[in-house]
Chain A
Amino acid sequence: MGSRGHPVVALWVALALAVAMTGCGRRDRGTTTVVFWQFSPLPAIQPVLDKFHHEHPGIRVEVEQLTWQSGREKIVAAVAAGRPPDLCEIGSTFLPGLVADSTLIDLTDSIADLKPELRGWRVTEYLGRSYAIPWMLGTRAMYMNADLMRGVGLPPENPPTTWTDFARAVEQIDAAGPDLKGFGMNAGEREVLFKKFMPFAWGNGGDILDSTLTHSVVYSPQNVEALRFYLSLKPFSLLDRQEMLDEAFTRGRIGFTISGPWMLRKLPESAPQLHFVVILMPRPGKDRGTPASFAGAEALGIFRGAKEKSAALTLARFLVREENAMPLYIATGNAFPAAAAAVEDTYFVSHPRDKVFVQQLQTAVAPPVHPRWVEIEEILNSELEEAIYGKKPADEALRSADQRIGALLQTGR
């Protein structure tokens, strides 16, 4: 039979040993070596690093690509082994845990000058202090099948902007054929559910925690209304995992799906016949709410145990500059530069679909950075899953989430 997972502990120790055996941050004949772990393919990041080497001949970067599947485990193992990289790309969902455990150094005083130049600070800050530098920002927008819209008599040039128009279009497309579905709703992957629901709640004025991060505001009229609306789309939706929804959209089987910019590169190659439009998320009403979306970020952090903190900071400051982050976006198409100046980049003039994501970022909301975010997210996702699977009505699911998160916040850390 195929090889199975051995006890995770064995994997854990093996990882720790492996990272312990790799050299991290060392000086060699006057050259400082910075170990940099990041997620982009090496051909995409290397030209940027070549430029850095040219600008900073005294610093040599040893770059390593992490995978989305095991990057988190590798980082944890490296930190535990006391041999973290000097500079590391960290996703916004992983960041709160690292901040809470004081694993990253406080960069607030070293990067004050960068504040006006970058966006996305919310995901890197806790109690007013910055523990990482926003590098690339990610968000989701609505993909719309223009042919299906046209097929039900709705002009794609006039896409739905409100919940009412959106729901009507979803219902009409769903009714247009037995193999068609109006909307792609995430299911079967609990970890992403809040990212797909919260845009509707945020757009409606709802939130997860209050501004002091001490109380849950999950059970609010705004959130309940948003969840009821979201669930009203279910009968006309295909319920599946994100990759399957992306595939169904590629095949022209669903009218709308919420997805990231990575689809912009994929769709013209895999489905050249597909006519699609990227639009902003719908807002609650014409004069009500905002077209909110989920905002994530890839930030650059320096671990407490890093050997070359100063050189790592130099590299981080270089990477976040607009002229260095933009080539990475053009090469990978995954996330946008956090540099505020990137919005004006001429690339977006010639790529209008990409520009929608840049616009979407203006109203995108990042989840709060809280020491217990992993648990908060888990509670939210599990209650949303209950609601999506019809086990609980919207208000009961949110009330339960609110109570559980409230109890969690009271226990402290």
Chain B
Amino acid sequence: MRGRFAGLLPWSLFFAVFGLVPLLAALVLSFYSMNPLRPDLTHWVGGANYARALGSPAFWHALRTTAIFVVGTLPATLVLAYVVAALLSRLRRGEAFFRAAIFFPATLSMVVISLVFKSLYAEQGLLNGWLKGLGFPAVHWLQDPRLALPSIMAMDVWASVGYYAILILAGRKTLPVEQLEAARLEGMRALAIERRIILPHVKPVILFVVLLNTVRSFQIFIEVFVLTRGGPLESTLTLVYHLYERAFYHFEMGYACALAYLLLLLVGVILLLQRRLIARAPVEVPAEMPLAPAVPRGTGRGAA
């Protein structure tokens, strides 16, 4: 028994130092006015940081931008990931290669991805080169306030689809081959099988993907930091980037912590809602969904 828990110790220590302590420290700090350059002047302000955030137009603007990002990327990522997973499952040859290729962006750091897209989106970049070849004028992907956020969203969808597609693919592969064969013998068409058998089966995975993508999308920071720094005209000012600016440019650590907790609260509410949805799903949700793609063993190769 003792040995079993001893194995958890390294992770628990790591989590306590780099997860739990900052989390609790941030909660305490959110009720203080704290300038990291003058920690001696730190003083209690109660809920003033929260009140200030809720009355700040910049906070609501950043929240709106973040919400647009989440709402804009979530359906696109989900649909594309589902389609890719369906296509991958139908491959008769080279599935391993395509699976690896699709998953490849997930192995890259978001900084690297952002830097690559920075050159793709450049005025003389590949995208404008294609447009020019087709006779269209160059587009200012990151300089145009109307296009900057959609450009980042498109990049994010590209970077996320592979990971989620592999999760959905893993879910599809848990469907027993016999069930599919029976459906085919009964004369069901491919689309009907997809809609009436496979989709309900992978629904918990889809809901998990929705949940995970929502949480991660609300945290969008690196893409904005590398590509636009919140501009132009604050069109890409997301909540976490706003929080970063308040903390490290204005040295308002207490206020930044309050912003972080408002974000946590918001994401928490969404998480609860989605957990309720998952609970209503017809198929039992696996207790622990793998964070890396995994094909179930011992049940034979899934045919979905």
Question: Are both chains from one complex?
Answer: yes
Q: Please give the residue numbers on chain A whose beta carbons come within 8 Å of chain B beta carbons, in ascending order.
A: 1-10, 12-14, 17, 72-73, 76-77, 79-80, 82, 97-98, 101-103, 187-191, 238-241, 244, 247-248, 251, 253, 374-375, 382, 385-386, 389, 391
Contact with A along B110-150 (1 / 0, CB 8 A): 10110000000011100000000000000010110100100
Segment among B62-70, B85-93, B253-261, B268-276 that sits at the interface with chain A? B253-261
Task: Kindly report which residue of chain B lies nearest to residue A187, judged by CB atoms.
Answer: B143
Q: Which of B105, B160, B249 has the most CB of A within 10 A?
A: B249
Asked if B26 and A9 sit within 8 Å, CB to CB, the answer is yes
* Partner of A76 from B17, B124, B248 at Cβ < 8 Å: B248
B255: min CB distance to chain A, Å: 12
B162: min CB distance to chain A, Å: 8
Asked if B240 and A8 sit within 8 Å, CB to CB, the answer is yes
Asked if A2 and B159 sit within 8 Å, CB to CB, the answer is yes
Asked if A79 and B36 sit within 8 Å, CB to CB, the answer is yes
Asked if A239 and B143 sit within 8 Å, CB to CB, the answer is yes
Q: Inside 8 A of A6's CB, which chain B residues have their CB?
A: 219
Asked if A12 and B240 sit within 8 Å, CB to CB, the answer is no
With known contacts A10-B19, A79-B37, A2–B109 Cβ distance under 8 A:
yes
- Counting chain B residues whose Cβ lies within 8 A of the other chain, the interface size class is 35 or more
Asked if A190 and B123 sit within 8 Å, CB to CB, the answer is no
Q: Inside 8 A of B260's CB, which chain A residues have their CB?
A: 7-9
Q: Inside 8 A of B233's CB, which chain A residues have their CB?
A: 385-386, 389, 391
Additional 4 contacts, C-beta under 8 A, given A1-B110, A251-B124, A385-B233 = A4-B216, A7-B22, A101-B38, A101-B251
Query: How far apart are the CA atoms of A193 and B19 in the complex, in Å?
Result: 38
With known contacts A8-B240, A13-B21, A251-B124, A240–B250 Cβ distance under 8 A:
no
Query: How far apart are the CA atoms of A82 and B191 in the complex, in Å?
Result: 65
6 pairs from A and B in contact (CB 8 Å cutoff): A1-B105, A1-B110, A2-B110, A72-B248, A385-B232, A389-B145
Q: Please give the residue numbers on chain B whose beta carbons come within 8 Å of chain A beta carbons, in ascending order.
A: 17-19, 21-23, 25-26, 29, 35-39, 105-106, 108-110, 112-113, 122-124, 140, 142-143, 145, 148, 159-160, 162-164, 216, 219-222, 225, 228-234, 240, 243-244, 247-251, 253, 256-257, 260, 263-264
With known contacts A8-B244, A188-B143, A386-B233, A2–B113 Cβ distance under 8 A:
yes
* Partner of A7 from B35, B109, B240, B248 at Cβ < 8 Å: B240
Task: Kindly report which residue of chain B lies nearest to residue A102, judged by CB atoms.
Answer: B38
Q: Inside 8 A of B18's CB, which chain A residues have their CB?
A: 10, 13-14
* Partner of A4 from B123, B145, B221 at Cβ < 8 Å: B221
With known contacts A77-B36, A389-B145, A375–B250 Cβ distance under 8 A:
yes
B103: min CB distance to chain A, Å: 10
Task: Kindly report which residue of chain B lies nearest to residue A2, judged by CB atoms.
Answer: B110
Q: Inside 8 A of B257's CB, which chain A residues have their CB?
A: 9
With known contacts A1-B105, A4-B216, A76-B251, A389–B39 Cβ distance under 8 A:
no
Q: Which of A1, A79, A82, A188 has the most CB of B within 10 A?
A: A1
Query: How far apart are the CA atoms of A375 and B252 in the complex, in Å?
Result: 12
Query: How far apart are the CA atoms of A72 and B251 in the complex, in Å?
Result: 11
Asked if B143 and A240 sit within 8 Å, CB to CB, the answer is yes
Query: How far apart are the CA atoms of A105 and B251 in the complex, in Å?
Result: 19
Asked if B247 and A8 sit within 8 Å, CB to CB, the answer is yes
Asked if B38 and A103 sit within 8 Å, CB to CB, the answer is yes
B21: min CB distance to chain A, Å: 7
Q: Inside 8 A of A389's CB, which chain B residues have their CB?
A: 145, 232-233
A68: min CB distance to chain B, Å: 13
Asked if B219 and A7 sit within 8 Å, CB to CB, the answer is yes
Q: Which of B25, B123, B221, B253 has the most CB of A within 10 A?
A: B123
Query: How far apart are the CA atoms of A389 and B112 in the complex, in Å?
Result: 29
With known contacts A6-B219, A8-B244, A8-B247, A76–B37 Cβ distance under 8 A:
yes
B303: min CB distance to chain A, Å: 27
Task: Kindly report which residue of chain A lies nearest to residue B108, judged by CB atoms.
Answer: A2
Asked if B228 and A12 sit within 8 Å, CB to CB, the answer is no
Asked if A2 and B19 sit within 8 Å, CB to CB, the answer is no
Query: How far apart are the CA atoms of A248 and B145 in the complex, in Å?
Result: 21
Query: How far apart are the CA atoms of A354 and B123 in the complex, in Å?
Result: 29
Q: Inside 8 A of B247's CB, which chain A residues have their CB?
A: 8-9, 12
Asked if B124 and A253 sit within 8 Å, CB to CB, the answer is yes
